[in-house]
Amino acid sequence: MKLTREFYIRDNVVEIARDLLGKVLCSRFDGNLTKAVITETEAYAGVADKASHAYGGRRTKRTEPMFGPGGVAYVYLCYGIHHLFNVVTGVSGTPHAVLIRAGHPSVGETVMLKRRKRPTVDASLLGGPGSLAKALGINTKLTGTSLLGRQIWIEDHGIRFAESSLVIGPRIGVDYAEEDADCPYRFVATLDGRFS
């Protein structure tokens, strides 16, 4: 079943990042349905988090979707090449977000392979935030799009990961965030308990 508004507007963004593991991220563009099981997430804790684009209450045209109510997409271009997909959480005014970093293909593998220009399904197909967004057809034009609509949404398929199969640690690529770079805001689900 599709996640509802109540899931997204909770105030604990770290808890939501943890809860998103095993949920299924879905998209449908031009009739092409794709779904991916989320296996890696990172929390970005609003104005108090130096790693967040909204740190210190910085509110610009780019970060505007994060300041709205939870349950919308925040997509932006990174390194001039990659489109990164985030889930905005919390009530209006709290710019919390969860970066979806990796997933496992579930539906629409053929379309994903075509978008990624790759011959076969392997771990690298959805193996990083830029790759995952590209495979699902997500681009910066979708920033601000509701996750309760018909283009992008998240479903609960009842997948649960054992506590022992989770790896929790510091986030990736946020060295610029000083002391906040070490916060344990990254969640990885390893399918067999090993670090991947």
Q: Which residues in this chain contact DNA in the complex, by CB under 7 A?
A: 42, 44, 51-54, 58, 60-63, 74, 76-82, 84, 86, 97, 99, 116, 124, 127-132, 140, 171-174, 176
Q: Which is nearer to DNA, 74 or 153 (CB)?
A: 74
Instruction: Tell the smallest beta-carbon distance from residue 164 to DNA (Å).
Output: 26
3 vs 51, beta carbon nearer DNA: 51
| Cβ at position 110, least distance to DNA in Å | 17
Q: How far apart are the first and last CA of the chain?
A: 29
How buried is 92 (Cβ within 10 angstroms: 0-12 exposed, 13-18 middle, 19+ buried)?
exposed
Distance (Å, rounded) from C-alpha 109 to C-alpha 143? Answer: 24
Radius of gyration from C-alpha coordinates of the chain: 16
**Residue nearer to DNA on the CB measure, 63 or 106:** 63
Q: Tokens at residue 86, please?
A: 């985030």
β-bridge partners, 6:
none
Q: Which residues contact 163 (CB under 8 A, 6 or more apart)?
A: none
Closest approach of DNA to the CB of residue 171, in Å? 7
Cβ proximity to DNA: between 34 and 131 the closer is 131
Comparison of 8 and 31: residue with beta carbon closer to DNA: 8
Q: How many CB atoms lie within 10 A of CB 48?
A: 11
Cβ 151 to DNA, closest distance in Å?
19
CB of 174 to DNA, least distance (A): 5
Sign of the CA dihedral running 120, 126, 127, 128: positive
Tokens of 64: 């505007």
Q: Which helix (H) or strand (E) holds 86?
A: strand 82-89
Whichever of 89 and 106 has its CB closer to DNA, that residue is: 89
Q: How far is the CB of 1 from DNA (least distance, A)?
A: 26
